[in-house]
Structure 1
Amino acid sequence: MFKLNPLFISVAIGMLATATCISGKANGFESTNNKTDIEVIDVYAQKRAQSIVDVAVAVTVIDGSSLERSQIKDTTQLTSLVPNLKITNNAGEGTPPAFNIRGIGMIDYNTSTVSPISIYSDGIVSGSANNLSVNLFDIEQVEVLRGPQGTLFGRNTTGGAILVRSKQPDTELGGYVNASVGEYHWRSVDGAVNIPLSDTTAMRFAFNQDDYNFSTNNLMAGSPNGGLKQQNFRLMLKTEFDSITILTKLHQDDWSGKPKPIASNGVLKRDGSGMCSPEQLGSDNCVDAFGMTVGGTNYWDVRADTADRSHKTDSWGASVNVLWDINQQVDLTLISGVRHLDREHSWDSDGSGNYIEGSMDTNNRLVSHELNIAYQHQYFFWQTGIFYLSERINQNNTFDLFRDFRLVPSLAANAVEFLYDNNLENSSMALYSQLDYPLRQATTLTAGLRYTDESTRYHANADIDTLYGVIADVWDLNGKVEDGEWSGKLALTHKLTHTSSIYASFTRGYKSGGYNAGYSTNLSQAQDSEYQAEKLNAYEVGGKLGNLMTDLQLNIAAFYYDYQDQQVFVNVPDNVVPYHVLKNAGDSTIYGAEVEMYYTPTNNLQFNFNVGYLPKANIGRYQKHNISVDDNRLPFSSKWNISGVVVHETQLAGKRLTSQLSFDYQSDFFFDQNENIYTEHKGYTLVNGQISYQASNALLLSVWGKNITNTEYAELRFDSIAALAAVTELKGEARQLGVGLHYSF
């Protein structure tokens, strides 16, 4: 059942007491009567509500009802709704996910990683990749901004930004409850209640609980299939005076369970005649270095010793957003937030043996503040601000190598467990300013500039546990990486009509350097884990075209990226002990195009269709000692990404029946920079669907399906050939069917 942190309860009571004192002083398809929603989409891509046609940004807008119909549980599942967006839980759900927009991303699953794509939950930046997985319940709108956000948005957004906007309190009493059950022990319930406290103050409490197993079938005796139980709570309080609006937010998350078991697919033919082909991996004809096979006949079968593996996440956060309308021309906004996360996650990457295992235990604390002043003049709009972030990451990781060798006297000396105690302190301070100036009635110039000063202090320490005892302080390093850099934007937007515009932009993106506190296995690797800043020059043209036909909206964009000193996660495949590091590759080039189509030919039929095209997405060359990066294609960068949704409404017994069918196609891509044929993923298509029936004004019934065609796909393939003669594979999710109900009151 639901469990609330005592701190959450006490602060919530304080918010209510404060509220009592104060009060004493877009793109949806909601009904058959509305065909104009797509013409009036408001976005916050420039930190203020604007029509989408007024912004020189490639932005996809997803409203809360679309998230519900598409069964989107969290931010890692947005891939199917956005062109050129790829997200994967490449170390298993509950660990830092890998976000990739237009070929720019981070596949490093390290808990010290800062992604080039940030999430802003109600204005508060995510910080490190530990906070990128956000459950999406009681959501007003999600905006995915593609391309570097060089001026207005927080920290390190060379790839893009995802803005999550929760439903806010209002003055109407009401609420709802959603519940669903499905295969693989899927049990989910979420809801919200909105309570007006006075004419000026309202409160909204939202909750979510998901309890589910993964679809992998673990054949290892006594080892689970894995699964998570996630409990999430949010309390928001909003007070509106004549000129001041105060929005306060508290949230708490409690996750626990067992990690998804991996498959260790041997690459050696059982008869000793050589290597298996990539298509043969996972079959009984292929064994690893220890003669082991998966042993199943189904793609979802795995054999992994995960009985002692577990996951636990406890996090909470608080924020306050103050908007002061000083006068009709000047607004001042203050956003401050704090977030705390404790996570324990143990993993296995060797299948049925005990050869490569470990843990990612993290304590993460983030504080951020932002002050923004906006000035609406008769002839221009100008905003300027200051941003500050401080984040502390404490890691207590372990890396256990070849433990089974301790049972073999001749091999026992090769078994070692690394015990890490790493501490990082990231700080970021920035000044920014942006001006929107009409050159003529229909043409607006946007000019923005940002200076960012960032630093990472680190302390990296490691002990090792061997057959002969613990050796302390194998390395004990202290260091600091500092950066200061200009970024910004220059754009022209020309409105063709009130529903159409075209734009051209140049954006300078920047992401700071830092320290990759990963799984080093010797002093030189630990010393070589600093990386420097990367810069990106992005050129883009596009348009939002809403008048081609009465019911057709097209969003198009074409872009060219000139990448400098690109930060690349490098897997060194020829090491017997797995080694991966974050390095600055040389200059690289990315270019491509996107099309989003929203077509509503009748009152009860809507088509959404997205095409992402990346013909060029290559890494720059890098060579140092045994670490090499060739001019290969970037990981997780499919040439084609095509997705679509069709929604149809009709009447059944006088009540509304809504059907939705969606698909997402990803063409071939690689999981690392080496273009290894054993870790290549061939193109695949996922199909999802839902049918819902409005039984009454208050009750909505539904049946749903995910991966209806039971497509076989992977979230990760890792080259463990040198260490294990195997490819480590984390399976995707098999077909899942379920039913649900929604009750409003």
Structure 2
Amino acid sequence: MSSPKNYSYAVRALIMAIAAINISYAEQSNNSLELEEVIVTAQKKTESLQDAPISLIAFGSEKLEQLGISDVGDIQGAVPNLSTAPHPSNRNSLTAFIRGVGNADLQITKDPAVGVYLDGVYLGRSAGLTADIADVQAIEVLRGPQGTLYGRNTTGGAISIRSAQADEEFSLKQKFSKGNRGYWRTLTQVNLPITDTVMVRAAFSRSAEDGWVENIGTGKDFGEQQKQALRLAVRWLVSDTLTLDYAFDQSEINGGQLAYQLTHITNPNGAGLAPFSRNTRQSALSVNNLEKSSDDVSGHSLTASWFISDDLTIKSITAYRDLDEFAYQDYSASAHHFSGGAFPSMVASGAEILDTRTDKVQDQISQEIQFLGTLYGKIDYVAGLYYFKEKGREDQLASLNLLALGGFPEIAEEYNEVDASAESLAAFSQFEYTPDLLEQRLHLTLGMRYTNDKREASKYDNLFNNLNGTTVNGEQSSSKFTPSITVAYDLSDDINAYAKIATAYRAGGFNTRGTESRFASGFDPEELLAYEIGSKAELFNRRVRLNLAAFLYEYTDLQVDQSDPVNIIATDTFNAGEAEMSGAEIDLTAVLSRDLLLNASYGYLDANYESFIQYGQEVSNSKNVPSAPQHSYNISLDYARTVSFGELNAALNYSWEDEYYFSSQGVARKDDVGLLGATLGVRNIAMGDGELSVQLWGKNLENKNYAAHEIDWAASGFVTTIFGEPRSFGLDVTLSF
């Protein structure tokens, strides 16, 4: 459970910070210190963060660099009520939950509940989300269902990534990073105006690290990886009213998977593995042969913006993306290491418990047309059409060596091939009306979306060495109207409040790890009804920004995964549940003095199953909503002062997350953890025509021992754990022209 002492420290820190605001305000009342306006695009238009009636956290490029965020997985600690974890079979893929809504398994036949968007393009698969993003301008995290303006299954929320666009000014930036455990990274960004109307921007990054668990066995080290990312953007100002933006991005990751080690024995069936169990992070483990895993993700997009008049803009976003993934995971590192490698000769694949080899390919096309404008000077609107289509294939070979060691070598393997396709078509609109009454302080917003989804899949499953090979097919289709309504009121020029009701749904699909008898029938869509109230305020002459939100969810036909009682790697997905989530978020930004900035965010979540039917039985009282920490918060202090040779800067960051379970069943969980990070450096040192910046950084400075992911192997009687990254530190050197 969470320590009251930690909450006491956090509350004291906030009280002291607010007191410091008042003292500093009294001392410097003649100074016009104000927070910079934060511009977001969460509602498909450019507006102030304070005007968007959404619980939203946005990070600009400078803050992302300060926090060391280079991929989606890095943002978790900075966003309360957002929880991410590496996928069990591939660390390069992330499972994401917002406010307790998400899904723990990632498959070609089911969609994530948290949508990730790159420059307005939906990323259909979560594979490769830990890849570097070479040229990020901003990341916005939208907490809560986004069933109107965002295109695919965003019952949990959305993560929107905006890349830097080519512009009219020449610039060149070169960054070098070096850290412990063999970490290095190089990033090059250049912006080049070719003519008055054609501009090109390019970025390229490469990095490598050794990981934090040495593999004494053969093959890659655990967590060792090499990354590279490329982005090319071209902007053509065709005329005063038409702009074309083309972008190509490509990311690669290669390396070894993270190490699962035995940490707990849960029942007598696992007693034989007790000598190999350790409940703290090991610096060295081993497997027989840790094969290289890889992800290659790329995409093209073309955005056309046609400014017809001051009251109408038409935007077209056309995109194609593809991915190619191979993932190898051996779940036997502890058994192999602490047994001295005694077991491999007894099993075919050389892994004592289980190993999996997964190949995945996917490609997608999407087309979105948006109409943005104003009607009669009182109604701002966004409307459009959206089309998405994907095809994919996923093959997996799983060696069930725990069964082989139990004396059943003839049933030690399962191989399946899955082919899948999905198609979605939607029409959407959102109208914001500001009537003349009440001094135009009232704003009424109506959102509407109609979506039609279709998914087809076939699965060949060869279970237990050809004793049960068969092919099954399935088809799912659904449609849904998802309206939303928001009432907002400007209490003053700097304070507003809002109330909203929103709906969202996630299409049905199939479970590739399911039994043949249930694969073909698949599972149906799930639906979410959300109520939210909030306020956004800028206080003390805009030196303090305080945003609040409270929410209540009614979650029905919940898609839940349930382990097969016979096959330890098989799960079936059922519309087995109803859940209720409630909670709140507080986001505070304050100028404490001319040199000191405070950011503090807090999230509270109460998530419970109202119903959970497991193989015909009501078991909600024994189930936990996964990835739903009750309390989470982040506090950071940023210091910057101009000195004779540049700008001295420092930052201290602390993030806390309560315990939560990784699955609805079993004991696998992440305990309370608080992580401390810091940076110290000097920016803008004059170097001829350029500027030099140097920054020291450290993460998990207290070297906390915590679980990044766990698996409860149920009847097999044990738990395996991936531990999070230990203390890391390094140096960034950046030269800009």
TM-score between both structures, scaled by the size of structure 2: 0.88
Letter in structure 2 aligned against 1:663: Y
Letter in structure 1 aligned against 2:727: R
Residues 364-513 of structure 1 aligned to structure 2 (within 5 Å): 364-377=362-375, 378-402=377-401, 405=404, 411-415=408-412, 417-439=413-435, 440=437, 441-464=440-463, 466=465, 470=466, 474-513=469-508
SS in 1 for 2:64: helix
- Cα deviations by residue, 1:679-717 (Å, 9 ceiling, x for unpaired): 233211011111111361311111111111011111111
Query: Offset at 1:576?
Result: 5.7
Letter in structure 2 aligned against 1:461: Y
8 Å Cα contact 2:212-2:283 kept in structure 1:
no
- What is the percentage of aligned positions where both structures have the same residue? 24
1:251 counterpart residue number: 249
1:716 counterpart residue number: 709
SS in 1 for 2:490: strand
- Cα deviations by residue, 1:298-351 (Å, 9 ceiling, x for unpaired): 623453416242211122110001010112211111001000100000111233
- Cα deviations by residue, 1:519-567 (Å, 9 ceiling, x for unpaired): x4x5335446x11101111000001111256411001100000111112
Letter in structure 2 aligned against 1:699: L
- Cα deviations by residue, 1:460-488 (Å, 9 ceiling, x for unpaired): 1122463xxx56x7121111111100102
C-alpha change, 1:571 and 1:132, in structure 2 (3 Å) is farther
Q: Distance in 1 between matches of 2:534 and 2:234?
A: 39
Q: Distance in 2 between matches of 1:456 and 1:152?
A: 22
Bigger shift: residues 165-174 or 349-358: 349-358
SS in 2 for 1:497: coil
2:557 counterpart residue number: 565
Structure 1 gaps, min length 5: 1-33, 269-273, 277-286
SS in 1 for 2:305: strand
8 Å Cα contact 1:507-1:537 kept in structure 2:
yes
8 Å Cα contact 2:34-2:541 kept in structure 1:
no
2:143 counterpart residue number: 146
Q: Distance in 1 between matches of 2:252 and 2:44?
A: 30
Bigger shift: residues 628-637 or 367-376: 628-637
Letter in structure 2 aligned against 1:615: D
8 Å Cα contact 1:618-1:631 kept in structure 2:
no
Tell me which of 93, 100, 105 is aligned to 1:103: 100
Letter in structure 2 aligned against 1:543: S
8 Å Cα contact 1:641-1:667 kept in structure 2:
yes
Query: Offset at 1:191?
Result: 2.2
1:614 counterpart residue number: 605
C-alpha change, 1:340 and 1:128, in structure 2 (3 Å) is same
SS in 2 for 1:621: strand
Q: Distance in 1 between matches of 2:640 and 2:129?
A: 35
8 Å Cα contact 1:263-1:304 kept in structure 2:
no
1:325 counterpart residue number: 307
Query: Offset at 1:107?
Result: 0.9
8 Å Cα contact 2:109-2:509 kept in structure 1:
no
1:80 counterpart residue number: 77
8 Å Cα contact 1:593-1:612 kept in structure 2:
yes
Q: Distance in 2 between matches of 1:313 and 1:210?
A: 15
Q: Distance in 2 between matches of 1:510 and 1:488?
A: 11
Query: Offset at 1:459?
Result: 0.8
C-alpha change, 1:546 and 1:92, in structure 2 (3 Å) is farther
TM-score between both structures, scaled by the size of structure 1: 0.87
8 Å Cα contact 1:95-1:109 kept in structure 2:
no
RMSD: 2.4
Letter in structure 1 aligned against 2:452: D
Letter in structure 1 aligned against 2:241: S
Letter in structure 2 aligned against 1:258: G
Letter in structure 2 aligned against 1:503: Y
Q: Distance in 1 between matches of 2:78 and 2:41?
A: 18
Structure 2 gaps, min length 5: 1-30, 337-350
Bigger shift: residues 547-556 or 698-707: 547-556
8 Å Cα contact 1:223-1:306 kept in structure 2:
no
C-alpha change, 1:539 and 1:404, in structure 2 (3 Å) is closer
8 Å Cα contact 1:262-1:302 kept in structure 2:
no
Tell me which of 199, 208, 222 is aligned to 1:202: 199
- Cα deviations by residue, 1:590-611 (Å, 9 ceiling, x for unpaired): 0000000001121210010010
Query: Offset at 1:119?
Result: 1.1
1:744 counterpart residue number: 736
1:580 counterpart residue number: 571
Query: Offset at 1:579?
Result: 2.8
- Cα deviations by residue, 1:176-226 (Å, 9 ceiling, x for unpaired): 011111111111111210000111111100111121122124455766233
1:672 counterpart residue number: 663
Query: Offset at 1:424?
Result: 0.8
Q: Distance in 2 between matches of 1:222 and 1:43?
A: 45
Q: Distance in 2 between matches of 1:618 and 1:684?
A: 25
Q: Distance in 1 between matches of 2:271 and 2:411?
A: 19
SS in 2 for 1:188: strand
Letter in structure 2 aligned against 1:669: Y
Tell me which of 46, 60, 63 is aligned to 1:63: 60
SS in 2 for 1:396: strand
Bigger shift: residues 344-353 or 180-189: 344-353
Query: Offset at 1:721?
Result: 4.5
Q: Distance in 2 between matches of 1:612 and 1:721?
A: 31
Q: Distance in 2 between matches of 1:354 and 1:75?
A: 33
